[in-house]
C-alpha cells in the first residue's frame, strides 16, 4: 500500500508539471490550430534563466532565505519567457498565419532548434546544478514519503490551473480568447483585437512554461540546454491524450500521463515477471496514448470547438 | 672562432639535419613510435598528458641508450591528434602506418581506440592503449591490441564483489542507463555480486537522458536493498542520489567511473555525502613508482592530469618487448608482448590472452566532506 501511495505521489507531481506545460500547447492550438513545438524550449529557457539568477543571488547574498531567492528567479524567468513567447509569435508565426499549415509547423521546429543552440552558447553543454537553497524537509504519510518541494509543486500547479480557468471563463480577455477560438473572423468583426488575443495566449502559455521549468529544475536539482525536448514531447502527448485545444483535457492528460509513467515504471517489471523492464516506461506511456487515440481520436475530453480555449 | 670555421659548422649542421628522416644517422637507426590522443578539443589536456607521459619514457630510453640487433637505436615519437573522434582516429592511424611506425601508444578514448585498432591489426603494428576501458577493444580477436588499464568488465567484477564482501550488502538493486558502457558494467556487477553470495533483488533500467527516477526507486525501495548500484554517468547519478534521499532510502549508492567525478558532487550537493564510486587504475600516490614519476614528470611538463603514468609504462612495455626480441621489427617483437612481465610505475604489468592487463587495479572512492576520498584499491581477478 505504501508503495502504491508513493507511486501515486510521484505520478501526481510529474503529472502536474506535464499539465502546466501541456496547457501552453493546448491554448495555442485551440486558437491557432498550430502546434508550437518551441514550447518545450521555452520551459527550458525558464529553467536556465531562473537558475542563472538563483546562482548569482546565492553567491552574492548567501544569507538570503531560499524561498526569496527562488522567488527572484521566478520573477526574472517569467517576464523573460513571456517576452520570448511574444517575440516568437511576432517573428516566426504571425507572418505565416495565412500560409499553408505545414509552414508554421516547420518554423516552430526551427525556433526550437535555435533556442536550444542559444541556450547551449550561453550556458554551455554542461548540466547546471540547482543550488541547495530550499529546505529539504520530508514528511512520512502512511509509509510514503513526500518532500516540501513536491508539496510546493502540487500546490502551485493547482493554484495556477485554477487561476487560468478563472481568467478564461470570467475575464474580458478570456471571453475574447474563447471567441477567437470559435471563429477568428467573426471575433474580429465583433471588435476583438485578434492579434492582441493571440499574443496574450502565447504570453500566458510562456509564463506557465517558465514556472514549470523552474519546478523541474528545483525538483531534479539540475538544468540542461536539452531538457526542453523530451519534456515538451511528453507534455504535447499529454495535451493530445486529454484532447488538444481543451484546457481541462490538458490538465487531465498531464496528470494521467504522469501517473501512467510512474505506475508503469514501478510495476511493469513485476507484472511481467521481468520480461519487460522499467525501460519500457515510455513505450508504455505512448502505447496508452495510441490506444486512446484509436478509440477516441479527439482525445479523452474531446476538442469541442465551443469549449476550447 | 673564425668566420671560416663557423662556415664549416653550419654546413655540418645542415648535413646532419638533412639526414633526419633517414634510417641511418651517425650509425644509429631511427625507429618511429606513434602516440595518438586528442590534442585539441575538450579533452586536449588529457591528450597532452598522455603524449607527455609517452615522451618522458622515450626520452629516458634514448638517454640510457638502446641497442637492438647490435645496432644503436634512436627512438622518435610521432604524436598525432585524433580529437577523440572515431573517424579522425582511423585517418591518423593510417597516417602513422604509412609513416612507418613500429608501434603505437594510444588511443585515449575507447570510441577512438576501437576503430583504429583494426588498421593497426591489418598492418601488424602492435598497439598499447594507456586508457581505453571498453571490453570491445580487446574482444575483436586482434593480436596487436593491448592495454595497461583495467577494463570495464574487470571493474564491474571488482565492484560487485566489493559490494557484497566489503560493504556487507546482502540485497542489491542494480540500475543501468542502457548504454553500452552502463549496461556492460551493470551486467558484470550483477554476475560478481551473485557469485559472491549477494542477492540481486531488483534490476531496473533508465536512459542516459532521464532525470526522473522516482518510480523505479520507489519500486526498489519496496524491496529494501542494502545497496543501489548504478551503471551510468554523473548527470543521472546525481539526481538519482538526491531522489534516494527524497524517498528516505537508507541504501548505499555505488557507481562506476562515470559517477566518480567532481561534477557529481557539484550536482548532488550535500546529498552526495557517503556515495561510493570506483575508477579503474590507481591514484598517483598509491602507485609503486608514483612519487618518483611525479617528480620527474612535473619538473618537465607541469601537473599530471590523469593517464600519463600509464602512457609512460606503455612505452616501456613496448620497448621491453623489443629488447627481448632484440629487434624493433613488429613481426618479431609482437611475439614477445604476450610474455610481458614488467614492473612499471603503475604496478606489475602482465597480459592475458586477449591483451588485457591481468590483475588490473580498481580504486574505490567515497564522498566525504564534499570531496572524493580514496577508500582502497582492489586488484581484479585473482
Q: Taking CA atoms, what residue in B is nearest to A221? A: B239
**Is B247's CB within 8 Å of A6's CB?**
yes
pLDDT at A270 over 80: no
Of A126, A145, A265, the CB nearest to B246: A145
pLDDT at A309 over 50: no
Q: Taking CA atoms, what residue in B is nearest to A269? A: B204
**Is B211's CB within 8 Å of A220's CB?**
yes
Based on the number of CB atoms within 10 Å of its own CB, is A175 exposed (0-12), middle (13-18) or buried (19 or more)? middle
Range B169-184 burial, b when 16+ CB lie within 10 A, else e: beebbbbbbbeebbeb
Long-range contacts of B92-100, Cβ-Cβ distance < 8 Å, separation of 24 or more: B92/B36, B92/B116, B93/B36, B93/B119, B93/B120, B94/B119, B96/B34, B96/B36, B96/B125, B97/B123, B97/B125, B99/B32, B99/B34, B100/B32
Residue A64's φ and ψ, nearest 5 degrees, are -65, 140
**Is A138's CB within 8 Å of B263's CB?**
no
Cell numbers given for B43:
579533452
Q: How many CB pairs under 8 A join A and B?
A: 96
HSE-up of A264 (CA within 13 Å, CB side)?
Answer: 19
Whether residue B239 lies inside any domain: the answer is: yes
Q: Does B246 touch chain A (CB under 8 A)?
A: yes
Q: Considering only CA atoms, which of B148, B93, B107, B79 is closest in space to residue B316?
A: B148
Q: Are A222 and A130 a contacting pair, CB within 8 Å? A: yes
The pLDDT, as a whole number, for residue A207 is 96
Of A14, A132, A261, the CB nearest to B270: A132
Same domain membership, residue B89 and residue B115 = yes
Question: C-alpha angle with apex B199: B193 to B205, nearest 5 degrees?
Answer: 80
Domain chopping of chain A, boundaries: 7-295
Whether residue B7 lies inside any domain: the answer is: no
pLDDT at A148 over 60: yes
Total domain count, chain B: 2
Partners of B348 in beta bridges: B343
**Is B248's CB within 8 Å of A14's CB?**
no
**Is B247's CB within 8 Å of A145's CB?**
yes
How far, in Å, CA of A250 to CA of B56, rounded?
A: 64
**Is B268's CB within 8 Å of A221's CB?**
yes
Whether residue B11 lies inside any domain: the answer is: no
* Coil vs helix vs strand at B377: strand
The pLDDT profile of chain B, 382 residues, written as one tens digit per residue, is 444 555 555 555 544 444 444 455 556 899 999 999 999 877 888 899 999 999 999 999 999 999 999 999 999 999 999 988 999 999 999 999 999 999 999 899 888 999 999 999 999 999 999 999 888 999 989 999 999 999 999 999 999 999 999 999 999 999 998 887 888 899 999 999 999 999 999 999 998 888 899 999 999 999 999 999 999 888 899 999 999 998 989 999 999 988 998 889 989 989 999 999 999 888 888 898 999 999 999 999 988 888 999 999 999 999 999 999 999 999 999 999 999 999 999 989 999 999 999 988 899 999 999 999 999 998 876 4
Whether residue B238 lies inside any domain: the answer is: yes
* Coil vs helix vs strand at B13: helix
Chain A nearest CA to B237, separation (Å) = 11
Q: Where in B125-245 does DSSP place strands (E)? A: 127-129, 145-147, 171-176, 199-205, 227-231
How far, in Å, CA of B151 to CA of B133, rounded?
A: 4
How far, in Å, CA of B265 to CA of B306, rounded?
A: 19
How far, in Å, CA of A128 to CA of B101, rounded?
A: 44
Q: Does B204 touch chain A (CB under 8 A)?
A: yes
**Strands A222-223, A128-129: parallel, antiparallel or unpaired by DSSP?**
antiparallel
The pLDDT-based confidence of A276 (bands split at 50, 70, 90) is: confident
Q: What is the DSSP string of chain A?
A: -HHHHHHHHHHHHHHHHHHHHHHHHHHHHHHH----TTHHHHHHHHHHHHHHHHHHHHHH-TTS-HHHHHHHHHHHHHHHHHHHHHHHIIIIIGGGTTS-THHHHHHHHHHHHHHHHHHHHHH-SSPEEPPS-S---EEEETTEEEEHHHHHHHHHHHHHHHHHHHHHHHSHHHHHHHHHHH-HHHHHHTT--HHHHHHHHHHHHHHHHHHHHHHHHHHHSEE-TTHHHHHHHHHHHHHHHH-TT-HHHHHHHHHHHHHHHHHHHHHHHHHTTTSS-GGGHHHHHHHHHHHHHHH-TT-SS---TTT--
Q: Does A14 touch chain B (CB under 8 A)?
A: yes
- List pLDDT tens digits, range A37-82: 999 999 999 999 999 999 999 888 888 888 899 999 999 999 999 9
Q: Considering only CA atoms, which of B307, B287, B278 is closest in space to residue B347?
A: B287
Sign of CA dihedral A75, A77, A82, A87: positive
pLDDT at A29 over 80: yes
- In sequence order, the 6+-apart residues with CB closer than 8 A to the CB of B123 are B97
pTM comes to: 0.81
The pLDDT-based confidence of A304 (bands split at 50, 70, 90) is: low
Same domain membership, residue B119 and residue B89 = yes
Chain B nearest CA to A60, separation (Å) = 18
Give the structural domain span for B129. 18-150+286-351
**Is B215's CB within 8 Å of A10's CB?**
yes
What is the ipTM for the molecules in this complex?
A: 0.86
pLDDT at A202 over 70: yes
**Strands B127-129, B71-81: parallel, antiparallel or unpaired by DSSP?**
unpaired
**Strands A144-147, A138-141: parallel, antiparallel or unpaired by DSSP?**
antiparallel
Q: Are B31 and B75 a contacting pair, CB within 8 Å? A: yes
Whether residue B333 lies inside any domain: the answer is: yes
How far, in Å, CA of A88 to CA of A5, rounded?
A: 41
**Is B247's CB within 8 Å of A226's CB?**
no
Of A13, A138, A279, the CB nearest to B178: A279
From chain A, the residues in CB contact with B242 under 8 A are 220-221
In Å, how far are A67, A140, A144, B173 from A148, measured between CA atoms? 12, 11, 13, 27
Whether residue B141 lies inside any domain: the answer is: yes
**Is A3's CB within 8 Å of B248's CB?**
no
Whether residue B3 lies inside any domain: the answer is: no
Q: Does B48 touch chain A (CB under 8 A)?
A: no
The pLDDT, as a whole number, for residue B184 is 87
Same domain membership, residue B42 and residue B85 = yes
From chain A, the residues in CB contact with B261 under 8 A are none
Cell numbers given for A100:
499553408
- List pLDDT tens digits, range B216-265: 999 999 999 999 999 988 889 999 999 999 898 999 999 998 899 888 99
% of chain B beyond a pLDDT of 90: 69
Q: Does A272 touch chain B (CB under 8 A)?
A: no
CATH of the domain at B139: 3.40.50.2300
How far, in Å, CA of B220 to CA of A211, rounded?
A: 31
**Best mutation target, A132, A233, A279, to test chain B (most B CBs within 10 A):** A279
CA A211 to chain centre: 8
In Å, how far are B130, B316, B357 from B346, measured between CA atoms? 11, 12, 12
**Is A279's CB within 8 Å of B245's CB?**
no
CATH of A7-295, one of 1.10.1060, 1.10.3470, 1.10.8, 1.10.10: 1.10.3470
Least confidently predicted of A120-129, A202-211, A298-307: A298-307
The pLDDT, as a whole number, for residue A308 is 47
Q: Are B324 and B66 a contacting pair, CB within 8 Å? A: no
- In sequence order, the 6+-apart residues with CB closer than 8 A to the CB of A106 are none
Amino acid at each position: 500500500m505504501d508503495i502504491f501511495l508513493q507511486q501515486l505521489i510521484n505520478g501526481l507531481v510529474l503529472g502536474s508539471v506535464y499539465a502546466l506545460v501541456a496547457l501552453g500547447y493546448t491554448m495555442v492550438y485551440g486558437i491557432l490550430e498550430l502546434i508550437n513545438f518551441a514550447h518545450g524550449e521555452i520551459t527550458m529557457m525558464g529553467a536556465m534563466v531562473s537558475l542563472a539568477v538563483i546562482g548569482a543571488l546565492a553567491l552574492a547574498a548567501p544569507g538570503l532565505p531560499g524561498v526569496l531567492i527562488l522567488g527572484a528567479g521566478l520573477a526574472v524567468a517569467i517576464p523573460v519567457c513571456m517576452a520570448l513567447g511574444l517575440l516568437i509569435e511576432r517573428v516566426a508565426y504571425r507572418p505565416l498565419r495565412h500560409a499553408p499549415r505545414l509552414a508554421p509547423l516547420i518554423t516552430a521546429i526551427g525556433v526550437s532548434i535555435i533556442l536550444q543552440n542559444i541556450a547551449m552558447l550561453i550556458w554551455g553543454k554542461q548540466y547546471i546544478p540547482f543550488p541547495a537553497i530550499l529546505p529539504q524537509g520530508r514528511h512520512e504519510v502512511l509509509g510514503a514519503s513526500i518532500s516540501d518541494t513536491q508539496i510546493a509543486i502540487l500546490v502551485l500547479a493547482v493554484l495556477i490551473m485554477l487561476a487560468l480557468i478563472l481568467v478564461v471563463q470570467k475575464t474580458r480577455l478570456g471571453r475574447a480568447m474563447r471567441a477567437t477560438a470559435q471563429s477568428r473572423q467573426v471575433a474580429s468583426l465583433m471588435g476583438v483585437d485578434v492579434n492582441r488575443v493571440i499574443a496574450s495566449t502565447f504570453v500566458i502559455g510562456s509564463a506557465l512554461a517558465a514556472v514549470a521549468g523552474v519546478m523541474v529544475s528545483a525538483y531534479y536539482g539540475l538544468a540542461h540546454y536539452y531538457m526542453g525536448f523530451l519534456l515538451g514531447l511528453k507534455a504535447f502527448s499529454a495535451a493530445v491524450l486529454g484532447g488538444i485545444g481543451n484546457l481541462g483535457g490538458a490538465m487531465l492528460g498531464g496528470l494521467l500521463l504522469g501517473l501512467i509513467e510512474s505506475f508503469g515504471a514501478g510495476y511493469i517489471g513485476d507484472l511481467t515477471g521481468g520480461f519487460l523492464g522499467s525501460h519500457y516506461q515510455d513505450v508504455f506511456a505512448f502505447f496508452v496514448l495510441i490506444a486512446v487515440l484509436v478509440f477516441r481520436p479527439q482525445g479523452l475530453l474531446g476538442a469541442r470547438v465551443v469549449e476550447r480555449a | 672562432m673564425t668566420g671560416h670555421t663557423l662556415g664549416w659548422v653550419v654546413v655540418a649542421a645542415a648535413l646532419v639535419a638533412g639526414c633526419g628522416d633517414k634510417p641511418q644517422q651517425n650509425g644509429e637507426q631511427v625507429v618511429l613510435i606513434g602516440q595518438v590522443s586528442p590534442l585539441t578539443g575538450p579533452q586536449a589536456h588529457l591528450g597532452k598528458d598522455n603524449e607527455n607521459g609517452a615522451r618522458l619514457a622515450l626520452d629516458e630510453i634514448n638517454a640510457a641508450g638502446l641497442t637492438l640487433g647490435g645496432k644503436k637505436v634512436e627512438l622518435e615519437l610521432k604524436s598525432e591528434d585524433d580529437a577523440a573522434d572515431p573517424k579522425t582516429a582511423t585517418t591518423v592511424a593510417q597516417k602513422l602506418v604509412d609513416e612507418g611506425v613500429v608501434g603505437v601508444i594510444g588511443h585515449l578514448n575507447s570510441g577512438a581506440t576501437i576503430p583504429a585498432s583494426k588498421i593497426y591489426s591489418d598492418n601488424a603494428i602492435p598497439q598499447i592503449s594507456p586508457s581505453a576501458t571498453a571490453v570491445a577493444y580487446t574482444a575483436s580477436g586482434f593480436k596487436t591490441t593491448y592495454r595497461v588499464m583495467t577494463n570495464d568488465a574487470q571493474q564491474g567484477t571488482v565492484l560487485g564483489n566489493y559490494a557484497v564482501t566489503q560493504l556487507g550488502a546482502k540485497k542489491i538493486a542494480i540500475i543501468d542507463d542502457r548504454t553500452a558502457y552502463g549496461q556492460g558494467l551493470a551486467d558484470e556487477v550483477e554476475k560478481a555480486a551473485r557469485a559472491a553470495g549477494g542477492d540481486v533483488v531488483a534490476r531496473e533500467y533508465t536512459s542516459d537522458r532521464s532525470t526522473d527516477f522516482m518510480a523505479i526507486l520507489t519500486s526498489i525501495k519496496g524491496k529494501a536493498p542494502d545497496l543501489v548500484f548504478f551503471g551510468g554517468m554523473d548527470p543521472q547519478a546525481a539526481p538519482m542520489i538526491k531522489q534516494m534521499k527524497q524517498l528516505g532510502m537508507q541504501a548505499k549508492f555505488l557507481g562506476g567511473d562515470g559517477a566518480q567525478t567532481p561534477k557529481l558532487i557539484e550536482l548532488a550537493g550535500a546529498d552526495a555525502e557517503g556515495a561510493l564510486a570506483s575508477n579503474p587504475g590507481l591514484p598517483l600516490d598509491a602507485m609503486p613508482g608514483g612519487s618518483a614519476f611525479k617528480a620527474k614528470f612535473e619538473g618537465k611538463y607541469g601537473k599530471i592530469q590523469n593517464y600519463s603514468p600509464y602512457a609512460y609504462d606503455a612505452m616501456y612495455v613496448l620497448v621491453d618487448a623489443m629488447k627481448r626480441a632484440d629487434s624493433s621489427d613488429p613481426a618479431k617483437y609482437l611475439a614477445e608482448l604476450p610474455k610481458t612481465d614488467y614492473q612499471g610505475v603503475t604496478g606489475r604489468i602482465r597480459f592475458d590472452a586477449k591483451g588485457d592487463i591481468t590483475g588490473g587495479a580498481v580504486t574505490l572512492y567515497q564522498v566525504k566532506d564534499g570531496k572524493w576520498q580514496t577508500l582502497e584499491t582492489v586488484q581484479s581477478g585473482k
